[in-house]
Amino acid sequence: MEGSMRSDTRTLIICVDRDNDLGEKTGLEAPIIGRDAVLAAGTKLALADSEESDINAIFEAVRIYERLHSSEEGGEAEVVVLAGDKKVGVESDRRIGQELDAVLSSFKANSAILVSDGAGDEWIIPIIQSRVKIDSVRRVVVKQSENLESTFYVIKRMLEDPKFSRMFLPPIGLILFLFAISLLLGFSGKAFGLILGFIGIYALLKGLGHENLIIELIESMKQSLYSGKISFIMYIVAIVLIFAGTFQGIMGYTKLAPELKERIVLSMMYYIKMTIWWYIGAVLAPLFGKVMSMLIERERIVRHWAILFSVIASGLLLWGGSESIIWLSKGNYTMGYLILTLSILGAIILSFIGVKISLYIRSSLMQEKMVQAAIDTEESTARD
């Protein structure tokens, strides 16, 4: 009975190349289906780059396929290689999902075995599970000789990897540069704080998946400059506001609360109170630039209203929270709780207003499109 149940199993062995090293180095297009095609693809990739870790994953997928295929109780099996895109992210994962749909349309699998060469490829497990049940995950770890495992070789290979170098070398280089300048100018203490702040910001952006935010911001500034849009000026305004706000916060904290140097939390509250509206202005400046550019180009402004009010609401919350803590530290609990309550209510009202305006404009725009579509349909019918 158990053997007959297993014989009905249709297993798909899936080898995932999320960053599409296979396509980039061999020119092959995924999905690659079938033992012979997958084996040929692995051989071609090995000839193109013998140090590529995806080679081992491909051959392991073929090995699992042959073991299942030769087993009397293994049921029907098929092996396939799915590849994403060199820009790993939404587009890459969406492409893998489309390839898997194409494979499942021809091979109706009821179970799958995922083969990968690292944790990065296993991010697409939810995508596969949404389409077919995964029975096993096989991660291929290559055994290296002692010479290849040496520290020098590992560092050398990491530095030659474009993905690693683009992700880690720029922050490390900037930190070392700032530290060197601080030593030359005698400001090592302040530079150490600045470096810690930079590491904290980078770790926060990395954790939220927005590590390319600064690069995207620079690219947006370049495009605004080349296209002659007013938003470029607003980016400069934002930078000026950030520097001015930081200076205001440092000077204000130094004058108003010199006795708080040992009280870190309260010091941060004073700093936030002094700088938050400068920083909010810096965030709003590019947004206003975008809105003005859209007005000049006669485009409809929809989602920017919600962003505008949300940013102001966030600033009100941060200001209210810092002001509340300052009043509470002075023993004035009534004023502290009152400011906190009012800031929360104000933030909720502002967010609600922004959402309602965006929904109203979006609904008006949809109605205009429907009316225009009806008019076009009537004109087309009249012509026919």
Q: String of b and e for 3-42 (b: at least 16 CB within 10 Å)?
A: eeeeeebebbbbbbbbbbbbbeebebebbbbebeebbebb
Start-to-end Cα distance in the chain: 66
> How do residues 8-39 score in pLDDT, each as one tens digit?
778 899 998 888 888 888 888 888 888 889 99
Could you tell me if 60 and 51 are in contact, meaning their C-beta atoms sit under 8 angstroms apart? no
Q: What does pLDDT average to over the chain?
A: 76
Spatial distance between the Cα atoms of 112 and 80, rounded to a whole number of angstroms:
11
Classify 143 as helix, strand or coil: coil
Spatial distance between the Cα atoms of 24 and 15, rounded to a whole number of angstroms:
16
Spatial distance between the Cα atoms of 51 and 153, rounded to a whole number of angstroms:
12
- How far are the Cα atoms of 270, 302, 360, 367, 370 from residue 364, in angstroms, in the given order? 44, 10, 6, 5, 10
Q: Is the pLDDT of residue 131 over 60?
A: yes
- If pLDDT is split at 50, 70 and 90, which confidence band does 145 have? very low
> How do residues 299-344 score in pLDDT, each as one tens digit?
666 667 777 888 888 888 888 888 888 888 888 888 888 988 998 9
Spatial distance between the Cα atoms of 366 and 300, rounded to a whole number of angstroms:
12
In percent, the amount of the chain with pLDDT more than 70 equals 66
**Can you list the alpha helix ranges (DSSP code H) found in the chain?**
2-7, 21-26, 35-48, 54-70, 90-106, 125-129, 151-160, 162-185, 188-207, 213-227, 231-256, 264-296, 303-329, 333-383
Domain boundaries 2-139, corresponding CATH code: 3.40.50
Q: Is the pLDDT of residue 192 over 80?
A: no
Nearest CA among 336, 315, 340, 317 for reference residue 245? 315
Spatial distance between the Cα atoms of 116 and 311, rounded to a whole number of angstroms:
42
Spatial distance between the Cα atoms of 19 and 92, rounded to a whole number of angstroms:
7
> How do residues 132-141 score in pLDDT, each as one tens digit?
888 888 877 6
Q: Is the pLDDT of residue 147 over 60?
A: no
Q: Which pLDDT score is estimated for 384?
A: 61
- Which residues, 6 or more positions from 31, have their beta carbon under 8 angstroms from its beta carbon? 80, 81, 82, 83, 99, 100, 102, 103
What ranges do the domains of the chain cover?
2-139, 146-209, 212-291, 300-384
Strands 134-139 and 111-116: parallel
Could you tell me if 343 and 320 are in contact, meaning their C-beta atoms sit under 8 angstroms apart? yes
Could you tell me if 238 and 285 are in contact, meaning their C-beta atoms sit under 8 angstroms apart? yes
Q: Is the pLDDT of residue 345 over 90?
A: yes
Could you tell me if 164 and 90 are in contact, meaning their C-beta atoms sit under 8 angstroms apart? no
Return the number of other C-beta atoms located less than 10 Å from residue 214's C-beta: 13
Spatial distance between the Cα atoms of 81 and 34, rounded to a whole number of angstroms:
9
Q: How much is the average pLDDT of 342-361?
A: 85
